[in-house]
Amino acid sequence: AVTRRPLIAGNWKMNLNHFEAIALVQKLAFSLDEKQLSDVEVVVLPPYVDIRSVQTVIDADKLLLGYGAQDLSTHPNGAYTGEISGSMLAKLGCSYVVIGHSERRQYHHEDDELIAGKVRAALSVGISPILCVGEGLDIRNAGDQVAHVSAQLLAGLDRLNAEEVGKVVVAYEPVWAIGTGKTATPEDAQEVAGALRTLLSERYGEVAQSIRILYGGSVKSANVASIMAKADVDGALVGGASIDAEEFVSICRFPE
Ligand code: PEP
């Protein structure tokens, strides 16, 4: 059987200036040892303006922490005021980029086509997309969550071959659980993660066994271990709790 290395990714959202970012990364580095950082891959996803500072701390201290961005443009360069390209992020050493977060789908009206373009833009510069999918409360109440997130996933992976799909991380984030304090039960998370892996396997074959499927939505140190214990859940995308050093460190130590 394939063993998938768990990934804990902290989405800082629009929080922390670059000084605060440096302080947080230093605290994480101080609190997590080499063994913990090899058992679990730990990644921070700061706002764009913090990335250079985070890179400097991580490089200077040869820290085993990864980092990435929360979004990118579909365009490689040009007259797109306010946008940031994949190659700019790659130059800053980003390994990951969040794509299709529900806050961007909702507040910036990002649709599946745009999201698929962003996934391809990230892969074209060697950055792994963390592709977010998730249902709203109405869809969950109607029992249509698996169909809904399956459609979002296939749309986000549009035009990719199996090798490219193998570089994608999937984040299942039920919208009703994001920032609300309501966490899906481990069984809810497994139901969807398992269905997504089956779908990936039917469409792309063997590579589905190595793709990491994260759960996101009010993950905390108190609930992380029970969710991670599920067969198809390979990590967490953590929002609110990721800017609290102590809490995020406890989450990253979930195997202990
Ligand atoms: C997120 O923003 O991806 C998220 C899961 O947020 P929170 O952990 O705050 O629910």
What is the band of 2 on the pLDDT scale with cuts at 50, 70, 90?
low
ipTM of the prediction greater than 0.90, yes or no: yes
Check pLDDT > 60 for residue 1: no
What is the band of 86 on the pLDDT scale with cuts at 50, 70, 90?
very high
143 CA to centre of own chain: 25
Nearest CA to ligand 1 atom 1: 239
Q: How far is the CA of 101 from the centre of ligand 1 (A)?
A: 9
User: For ligand 1, is residue 219 a contact (CB within 6 Å)?
Assistant: yes
Regarding pTM above 0.90, the answer is yes
Question: What span, in angstroms and rounded, lies between the C-alpha atoms of 243 and 94?
Answer: 19
User: For ligand 1, is residue 175 a contact (CB within 6 Å)?
Assistant: no
Check pLDDT > 70 for residue 18: yes
Check pLDDT > 90 for residue 61: no
Contacts of 18 (CB under 8 A, 6+ apart): 49, 50, 52, 53
What is the band of 183 on the pLDDT scale with cuts at 50, 70, 90?
confident
Nearest CA to ligand 1 atom 7: 239
Q: How far is the CA of 15 from the centre of ligand 1 (A)?
A: 13
Catalytic residues: 101, 173
Check pLDDT > 70 for residue 6: yes
Nearest-atom index, ligand 1, CA of 219: 8
The overall average pLDDT reported for the chain is 96
User: For ligand 1, is residue 21 a contact (CB within 6 Å)?
Assistant: no
Taking the C-alpha atoms of 162, 104, 28 and 179 in order, what is their torsion angle to the nearest 10 degrees? Answer: -120
pLDDT digits (tens, 9 = 90+) for 117-156: 999 999 999 999 999 999 999 999 999 999 999 999 999 9
Q: Kindly list the structural domains of the chain, giving each domain's residue range(s) and its CATH number in brackets, ordered by start.
A: 17-69 (no CATH), 70-236 (3.20.20.70)
Question: What span, in angstroms and rounded, lies between the C-alpha atoms of 152 and 168?
Answer: 14
Q: How far is the CA of 74 from the centre of ligand 1 (A)?
A: 24
